[in-house]
Chains A and B, each alone.
Chain A
Amino acid sequence: MRALDRDVAHVDSTSAVLPGQHVCSIVRHGDRLADRVVAWAREGFAAGERVVCVDGERDEFLQWLADGGVDYPSLLADGSLVVVRPEDAYLVDGAFDLDRRIALQGAFVKQSVADGYPAVRMSSRAVVAVGAFPDIAALVEYETRFEALCQELPVSGLCIYDSDAFLDELPQLTASHPRAVADDQLRCWMERGRVRLAGEADVSNADLVANVLAHTVPTDGSLVLDVGALSFIDVAGVSAFVSTARRLAPAARVTVVNPPPHLRTILTALAWEDEVDVVTGTAT
């Protein structure tokens, strides 16, 4: 564990989005969302990807890019940056038609690949986007279909949910992003059969970790959690691992690799050391 630096922790834990990842990115009161979104967009431009952002009338996203020193007019002009209104992004001819909408998204990704982009990355802030959907259930259904699209085509998504605005619906909304969740402190995602964590896990995000763990299927009797990029974990974080281990037992074990020093302290002090396996020094 190192001295906490908000800037470092912020970029570490939330910016990187892997190809094909559909991230449920939680925003809480006081979080610096602009940094998160600009970092995400910059990664896309650096990788030569096509960056699509769903934005409302306030052009908030473009303002963030400008404040972040991104020359967005030229990116808009050459087509590598696309900004669309929610009604254009989620409706078809002014109506909600999920099958046609998803088909159009898929066609757009294929066209982008044909145009020479290696992948497409899309971002949307749910408080802005939700107006285009008839109800929350439709939004959840869309997210579930988009998750499938991300596994099929070279497209990734950064879906931003303000926790205050979606307090009651957050569990089902995170569940529609079973492979990746993030907030200002923590990133938790599935990668090559492992669950990986980066940043700081505590009472504020243990439920996000539990969400990804709930959707991960063990392979060969083991669910591997790589916590090598975790700089802090507390009892609430570790209890998410232990709860998962109890749910999977006896068919499978939870294996934690590359633990920060405190993880063993917590497991031992709380008599949990027999419930999960801990392995140090496994290549990631």
Chain B
Amino acid sequence: MTSTATLSRDQGPGGVFRHEALLYRGEREFARGVLAFVEDGVRTAEPILVVVSARKIALLREALGGDADRVEFADMEEVGRNPARIIPAWRDFVQQHLTEGRTVRGVGEPIHPDRTEAELAECHHHESLLNLAFDDAPAWHLLCPYDVNALPASVIDEAHRNHPYIRDQDAERASEHYVHAVERRVPFEGPLPPPPADAPGVSFGTGRLDGLRGFVYSEAAAARLPGARTDDLVLAVNEVATNSLRYGGGQGMLRMWADAEGLVCEIRDGGQFAQPLVGRVRPTGERMGGRGLWLVNQLCDLVQIRSSDEGTVVRLHMWLR
């Protein structure tokens, strides 16, 4: 993890990474809460990155008026379509600005009512992993808005578990339910719905993956996944299966099916992942291994990894919507 190593506490003005959930009810409370946070940062000339939906970016820009030019915006639909891509984006921003010796602020809203169950599970993992990814980082402040009106209570409960601090319209406080990522098995825990009983599958081993790739091609073609996305999916499956050959006991099993959102490829093997941030650390420098899952996260819309001493399951999702 080269990137964290360069983010030593010495570079910051002291303190620690502050990861805070903003619980709001409706758009007016969203605007009020986020604007107060952003305007504080503008006053102290802190670099600010706001990653929310395009609609909310427009809302904030209008409310900020001339101050909007002092804030960087990014569309969460682009940055966080696959939530595993968000931590590297924050790391890039923090690293870029901390070299100038300042604290920075961020606003990130990865969770919205349109997220599917599978996406929500991985968004929660992402929120929890933020605490791990920036554990050793110098002070910076990330505010994560949650729409209490639109989201189920279970999602808000998770926000309490994944954020050490909670604020709403009235107050800021430490979360009583916060659990640090090192005390959980994120992102390797959590149930997955079983594959359909009739989902076709193919086993692989004996050092070869060409038959596996052929299987993914034909299944993706039958499901009418566009050509470029099929190429991405084939490469992604290939990289996960390469891990199975190298570290997962030399063999594995692929199953593939369509769900309401698109195509799912599931690779099972006998290995176990140890690094919670696997696939979320931008490759740099000389190290040649460990790049497969990074690439997979760039290629797929959602990646779910469940791993224990009983083996590993990796699910790759490609949306057809």
Whether chain B is bound by chain A comes out as yes
Chain A interfacial positions (CB closer than 8 Å to B)? 1, 3-6, 9, 28-30, 184-185, 200, 202-204, 232, 234-236, 239, 242-243, 246, 261-262, 265-266, 269-271
- B215 nearest in chain A by CB position: A4
B245 within 8 A of A: yes
Is the pair B245, A203 in contact by a Cβ cutoff of 8 Å? yes
Instruction: Identify which of B214, B239, B246 contacts A6 (C-beta below 8 A).
Output: B214
> Does the CB pair B295–A202 fall under 8 Å?
no
Structural contact, A269 and B207, CB atoms closer than 8 A:
no
**B205-237 contact mask (Cβ, 8 Å, vs A): 1 or 0:** 011111101100110010000001001101100
A269 CA / B283 CA spacing, docked (Å): 8
- Shortest 6 CB-CB distances between A and B: which pairs? A4-B214, A3-B217, A203-B242, A269-B298, A270-B283, A269-B295
Contact yes or no, A236 B208, CB < 8 A: no
**How far apart are the CA atoms of A140 and B283 in the complex, in Å?**
39
Query: Do A203 and B246 have beta carbons less than 8 Å apart?
Result: yes
Ordered by A's residue number, 6 sampled pairs between the chains whose C-beta atoms are within 8 Å are A1-B231, A6-B214, A200-B210, A204-B209, A232-B234, A242-B288
Q: Does B282 contact A (CB under 8 A)?
A: yes
Task: Point out the residues of chain B lying under 8 angstroms from A5, CB to CB.
Answer: 214
List residues of B (236-251) whose CB comes within 8 Å of A's CBs.
Answer: 238-239, 242, 245-246
**B210:A270 contact, CB within 8 angstroms:** no
| B:278-307 near A, CB below 8 Å | 282-284, 286, 288, 291-292, 294-295, 298-299
**CB < 8 Å neighbour of B284 from A30, A202, A271:** A271
Instruction: Tell me whether A239 and B295 are in contact in the complex, defined as CB-CB below 8 angstroms, given that A3-B221, A6-B214, A30-B206 are known contacts.
Output: no
Q: Which of B213, B292, B299 contacts A4 (CB 8 A)?
A: B213
Q: Which of B210, B221, B234, B283 has the most CB of A within 10 A?
A: B210
CB distance from B29 to the nearest CB of A (A): 39
Query: Which residues of B are found within 8 Å of A271, using beta-carbon distances?
Result: 282-284
B residues whose Cβ falls under 8 Å from a Cβ of A = 206-211, 213-214, 217-218, 221, 228, 231-232, 234-235, 238-239, 242, 245-246, 282-284, 286, 288, 291-292, 294-295, 298-299
Secondary structure at chain B's binding surface: helix, strand, loop or mixed?
Answer: helix
* Chain A residues whose C-beta falls within 8 Å of the C-beta of B292 in the assembled complex: 235
A127 shortest CB reach to chain B, Å: 18
Cβ-defined contact, A243 with B288, below 8 A: yes
> Beyond the given A3-B214, A185-B210, could you list 11 further A-B residue pairs with CB under 8 A, ordered by the A residue number?
A3-B217, A6-B211, A200-B210, A203-B209, A234-B235, A234-B242, A235-B239, A261-B231, A266-B235, A269-B294, A270-B291
Residues of A within 8 A of B295 (CB): 235, 266, 269-270
Nearest chain B CB to A270 CB, angstrom units: 5
Residues on the A chain within 8 Å of B288, using CB: 239, 242-243
Complex: chain B residue closest to A183, CB-CB? B208
The one of A28, A232, A265 in contact with B208, judged by C-beta atoms closer than 8 angstroms, is A28
Output the nearest chain B residue to A202 by Cβ-Cβ distance: B209
Distance (whole angstroms) from the CB of B8 to the closest CB of chain A: 22
Q: How far is the CB of B222 from chain A (nearest CB, A)?
A: 11
Contact of A28 among B207, B211, B228 (CB under 8 A): B207
Smallest CB–CB gap between A157 and chain B, Å? 25
Chain B residues, Cβ within 8 Å of A243: 288
CB-nearest residue of chain A relative to B220? A3
A195–B234 Cα distance when bound, in Å, is 26
In the complex, A236→B283 CA distance in Å?
15
Q: How far apart sit A269 and B85, CA to CA, in the bound complex (Å)?
A: 12
Check B231–A270 contact: CB distance below 8 A.
Answer: no
Residues on A with C-beta less than 8 A from B298 are 269
Taking CB atoms, residues of chain B closer than 8 Å to A184 are: 208, 210
Q: Which residues of A contact B211 (CB under 8 A)?
A: 6
CB distance from B263 to the nearest CB of A (A): 16
